[in-house]
Amino acid sequence: MDGANDLTQYVRQLELFRHQDHARDQMIGEILTRYEHLQRAYQEKCDDYSNEVESRRMWQTKAGTYDREMQALSKSLKTTESNPFVFVIIDGDGAVFQDMLLKAGADGGSQAGYLLHNEIMNYVSEAYPQAASQDWSVMVQIVLNLDGLAKKLHACGIISNTAAERTLSDFGRGFGRAQPLFSFIDVGSGKESADHKIRETLRLMVRINQCKHIFFGPCHDNGYLPVLEPYKLDPKVYPRLTLIETTPAEEGFKHLNFHRISFKSVFRSEKLPDRVERPSVSSVSSVSAVASPPTAGMQPLPPPVHVPTTNGNGGALLRSNTNESQPQRVASPQSSSGGAQTPTSWSVVTKVSTGKTIDISSKKPAPKKYYLLNVESQRVDEQFPRIDPNVEKRFKERMTKSGKNLCNNFHLHGFCKNGDACPFLHGEKLSQGELTLLKQKGYHDIDTKPRVKVYEDGTTQMLAT
């Protein structure tokens, strides 16, 4: 019996062990499952941490970059704000100073500089009330043909222009001394010289942030319309560009809608006259006739002979008496000395009244010379003639043989400042056909359609588009 009891006990003990083993297996499985979940969560946290580290480093790098950019921008802004200025550029051939200022020479130039500076500062202070405009510098450039304008003013009787008295030159020196940034710039003859300088200077100034406002005086010349056309829709340029109007503005400038201002205390509001009216020969003859009354013993003469003479324009003037029904009497040489008076002979009349015969027939005026500008104010010639294929072949063979392009300065202008050091081909002179081909190649990168015709006297004509 004892053996049976022991077996039963062992069986129960075995079942207990099996139950415990099963419970242990379940516990271990549960532990492993939880560990797996914890390991996965840990890996996710590690990945998140790595991402945060990378992100933080990226933002730290960007923050450092932005900080350096901000410092550079702040420095640039301080530099920009430290030297603000207003720029004024005027075509002095068309915008002429007041007569009283020009006549005063150097003193008039100083006075003109003072008046112009005051006018500019008054306008700027009203246009920029929130800015410290009183600290802005004013830069003024008057661009002109000094000799040409001096001759014109002298011909109009406004100033003297002799070897001993150069009034306009004195005026320019006085104007330049009036303010440290005022300049009276002589570009010599040729309208294209002044136009090019003004156009390029204006193009430079509109890009400078320190230039707070620009005053431009072109309103007398339609040739500047293509220069201003690109700026009328530019929001950065349009608000800070003002046109100075001296003589009444041409219609094209009114359509641009730029703000216009006039400084009547400084500049003439009327154009210079073409010429000064001088007394005609007929008026001088009439004065002489009145000054010499007829004397006794004079014989009546037939009506006076009409002698053609010329005025300053080459037109004809007919000398005539005020009252043709009354006979004209001419005093003989003896009448002036109080001696015996003798009748005037026909030989004396003929000698006095007969002059050099002048042809008064109308002549067809010679066509005025001109050159053409495109919409960018670049000079373009008229349509080139058709190029001979043989000329073009020789032209290409010449460049292929030398391995160089032809020098435009040497062949088109006759001189190259680089001399033998020039990287382009000089060699023998080109034929007329080759020169035409070289000019044609020089226009490959510009608009060759003419928009403005500029005459030698400075007048312009807009061409149909």
Rg (alpha carbons) of the chain, rounded to whole number: 46
Whole-number pLDDT of residue 374: 76
Which structure tokens are listed for 360? 């008064």
Task: Provide the pLDDT for residue 221.
Answer: 83
Number of structural domains (the chain) is 2
Domain boundary among 205, 237, 261: 261
pLDDT of residue 423: 84
Q: Is the pLDDT of residue 339 over 90?
A: no
Name the pairing type of β-strands 211-217 and 241-244: parallel
In a domain, 251, yes or no: yes
93 falls within a domain = yes
Query: Mean of the pLDDT values across residues 251-267?
Result: 90
What is the H or E stretch that residue 349 is in?
helix 346-353
Same domain for 235 and 374: no
Selection from 357, 355, 292 nearest residue 328 by Cα: 292
More confident residue, 154 or 286: 154
Residue 262 has pLDDT above 50, yes or no: yes
Mean pLDDT, rounded, for 15-37? 92
| Residue 444, domain member (yes or no) | yes
Confidence of residue 440 (pLDDT cuts 50, 70, 90): confident
Residue ranges making up the domain that contains 447: 370-462
Q: Given pLDDT bands bounded at 50, 70 and 90, which one contains residue 232?
A: confident
Show which of 261, 284, 308 is a domain's final residue: 261
Domain presence at residue 381: yes
Tell me the pLDDT band of 326, cut-offs 50, 70 and 90: very low
Tell whether 244 and 383 lie within a shared domain.
no
Does 34 fall in a domain? no
Select the more confidently predicted residue: 184 or 78: 184
Q: What is the mean pLDDT of residues 10-14?
A: 88
DSSP label at 166?
B
Closest CA to 223 of 260, 194, 185: 194
Q: Is residue 49 part of a domain?
A: no
Considering the domain boundaries, does residue 327 fall inside one? no
- From 236, 261, 286, the end of a domain falls on 261
11 is a domain residue: no
The three-state secondary structure class of 232 is coil
Contact 256, 239 (CB under 8 A): no
Is the pLDDT score of 279 beyond 60?
no
The whole-model pTM stands at 0.48
For residue 390, the tally of other CB atoms under 10 A from its CB is: 9
What pLDDT does residue 252 have? 86
Mean pLDDT of 235-264: 90
Is 60 or 341 the better-scoring residue by pLDDT?
A: 60
Q: Are residues 87 and 233 in the same domain?
A: yes
Reported as a single tens digit per residue, the pLDDT across 50-78 is 999 999 999 999 999 999 999 888 877 77
CA 175 to CA 148: how far, in whole Å?
18
Q: Are 406 and 431 in contact (CB under 8 A)?
A: no
**CATH assignment of the domain containing 240:** 3.40.50
Of 266, 232, 226, nearest to 246 (Cα)? 266
Query: Looking at residue 257, what DSSP letter applies?
Result: T
Q: How much of the chain, in percent, has pLDDT values that exceed 90?
A: 35
C-alpha–C-alpha distance, residues 131 and 137, integer Å: 13
Q: Given pLDDT bands bounded at 50, 70 and 90, which one contains residue 3?
A: low
Tell me the average pLDDT across 177-193: 87
Contacts of 324 (CB under 8 A, 6+ apart): 303, 304
